[in-house]
Structure 1
Amino acid sequence: MTRSVLAILALCLTVTACGRVADSRLNPFNWFGRDRDEQAEVVDERFINDPRQFVAQVTSLQVDPTPEGAIIRTVGLPPVQGFWDAELVEVDIEDPTTLTYEFRVAPPPVRTRQGTVQSREIIAGAAVSNRRLATVRTITVIGQSNRRAVRR
């Protein structure tokens, strides 16, 4: 009986000493922190062979873990309604700890209104494998006027 009491007491002390699992680095939902907004202006778009332009502003960046890796989801804000064909285009960088994407969109074929912010928002995403994420510490998405980044 004393062994079971000691085992229960040890288990209770161990669990309470661990702190909150929600705030732990072991929790996959905490792999990447909150996104940060960094001001940047893209000067030269010719370095990638893509006819689409950068989204005007990247408004949010979120990394959601999955069993296979993670899904990078970002919201961009073009200047007017009607932008389409949104895609996160990976930029080759020699730093293996950084994963960088350009948020590219195609302009509307005809002139459109500006509209409300909510009506102009456009979402793009990308899936990344656990193997690729093993060395990544920073994920960055670049827009025309800013960039957003999350860090582990």
Structure 2
Amino acid sequence: MRFPTYLIVSLGLATGACSSISDSRYNPMNWGQSEDIAATLAPEDGYLVLQDNRNLIAQVTNLTVVNAQGGVIVHATGLPPTQGYFDAELFPRNEEKPEGATLVYEFRVLEPNRQQRVSSEVSREVIVAHFISTAKLRGVNEIKIVAAQNSRSSRAQ
């Protein structure tokens, strides 16, 4: 019973010392070790990039910046050319990184599917708000909202 055990141990040590077998899968010293495989969850074709179909609103008519816990809330009022504009958002330029000392946002809206009435300015107003954290406001002196025909800005407090 001791002879087979000694034989297996001596063969294992002998093949482990051989240079041609040392990196092979037949070497018992390599058993149980995993290969370094770079695992990734990224899709082979890359990530899907969605395009934003929204346009800049015609005008920004009002801008207020209100202090809130952990940052500020930016309220902006825009005026499109007709009624029916929807899905408004203050879309950050440059991934919310300041341009100089200014954070710049574009006031984007989606146009109505069919022709709408012009009516009064009050009935066409689109109001949107956006929270900006204190961390993103570090080093920022001004917040600017851009529209197609104008822009408005507010100094940071």
Q: TM-score, normalised by structure 1?
A: 0.65
- Please, which moves more after superposition, 127-136 or 140-149? 127-136
Max radius of gyration: which structure? Answer: 2
For 1:1-152, what aligned pairs fall within 5 Å after superposition? Answer: 49-92=51-94, 95=99, 97-152=101-156
Deviations 1:68-97 (A, max 9, x none): 100011000000000000000000166352
Q: 1:112 aligns to what SS in structure 2? A: coil
Higher strand share: 1
| CA gap 1:57/1:118 in 2 versus in 1, 3 angstroms | same
Which ranges in structure 2 are unaligned for 5 or more consecutive residues?
Answer: 1-50
> In the alignment, which residue of structure 2 is the partner of 1:35?
none
- The alignment of Structure 1 onto Structure 2 pairs a total of residues equal to 105
After the TM superposition, which segments of 4 or more aligned residues of structure 1 sit over 6 Å from their partners?
none
- Between 127-136 and 74-83, report the one with greater CA deviation: 127-136
CA RMSD, aligned part only? 1.6
Unaligned 5+ runs, structure 1: 1-48
Task: Give, in angstroms, the shift of residue 150 of structure 1.
Answer: 0.9
Task: Please state how far the C-alpha of 1:109 moved relative to its aligned partner.
Answer: 1.0
Q: Which residue of 1 aligns with 2:6?
A: none
**What CA deviation, in whole Å up to 9, does each residue of 1:83-141 have, x standing for no partner?**
00000000016635210000000001111100110000001111011111121101000
The normalised TM-score by structure 2 is 0.63
Q: Deviations over 1:44-83 (max 9, x none)?
A: xxxxx42111100000111000011000110000000000
SS of the residue aligned with 2:135? helix
Letter in 1 for 2:71: G
Structure 1 vs Structure 2: percent identity of aligned residues?
38
Within 1, Cα distance between the matches of 2:155 and 2:98?
A: 18
